Amino acid sequence: MRNAPTDLGSLIPRNRAIHPVPYDPDYKTSVPRSPRWPLLSLDSSVTEETGPTFGHNMLGPYDNNLIANFSQGERLAIGERIRVHGRVLDETARPVANTLIEVWQANAGGRYRHVRDSYFAPLDPNFGGCGRTMTDEDGYYEFMTIRPGAYPWPNRANDWRPMHIHFSVFGSGFGHRLITQMYFQGDPLIDLCPIAATVKTRSQLDRLVAPLDMARSKPMDYLAYKFDIVLRGRRQTMFENKMEGM
């Protein structure tokens, strides 16, 4: 007897109206960079669709610990220790397993380890500001890091970026990559940031804010923040380089 087909539910159409607007004069960089013509859909190659793939054996012992990975455990970064964790899910709340997540961020003073970052905050000699991890079979991921600092940026007279961590989520190959940011619950700069304000619907912006998770915090050590990433669907996470999830 043939197996009965699995009912995956009705197709969830894309809702492009909830995506951040590409042109927003308050976010000055969007003025010269926003597209002036309709976007073109180009066919992808076999290489982009099928590889390369990533496995747990490619990760080093400190890859998901940004506090220690720059010195390979010899010295620890300066700042408030935090744990970030969550799940990667599809539009029907099924876990997305064995997915590579890369993260990068400023240090505790709000400065990136980048040659073009000219902010006056000092560099931490023990903090590189980037790491990576894989989701397990339940779509779960976690990493340790330092709470990033806010920093000023040359947009308007006195604009500051909220504390945030950048996320890159890979699919089955380099052609399937999504990029987003995670903000922190209670940060007053979220409501003042022109980049965050390009997300016009508050409920959508709130999905980029990780709530404090005291249940996964460790007493006398670190606080935890929970950030689930949903790929498409009714509760999708907003991404910078795609209209919606994969």
Per DSSP, the three-state class of 223 is: strand
Active site (catalytic) residues = 112, 151, 161, 164, 166
Closest among 131, 132, 129 to 56, alpha carbons compared: 132
C-alpha distances in Å from residue 149, one per residue of 18, 61, 165, 174, 197: 28, 26, 10, 30, 20
Q: Which residues of 202-241 are buried (b: 16+ CB within 10 A; e: fewer)?
A: eebbebbbbeebeeeeeeeebbbbbbbbbbbbeebbbbee
Contact 127, 70 (CB under 8 A): yes
Beta bridge partners of 81: 146
Task: Quickly count: other Cβ atoms within 10 Å of residue 107's Cβ.
Answer: 26
Q: Encoding tokens for residue 153? A: 């940026």
Most distant CA pair in the chain: distance in Å?
Answer: 71
Classify residue 41 by its DSSP letter.
P
Cβ neighbours of residue 101 under 8 Å, at least 6 residues apart? 88, 132, 133, 134, 135, 141, 167, 168, 169, 170
Beta bridge partners of 95: 89
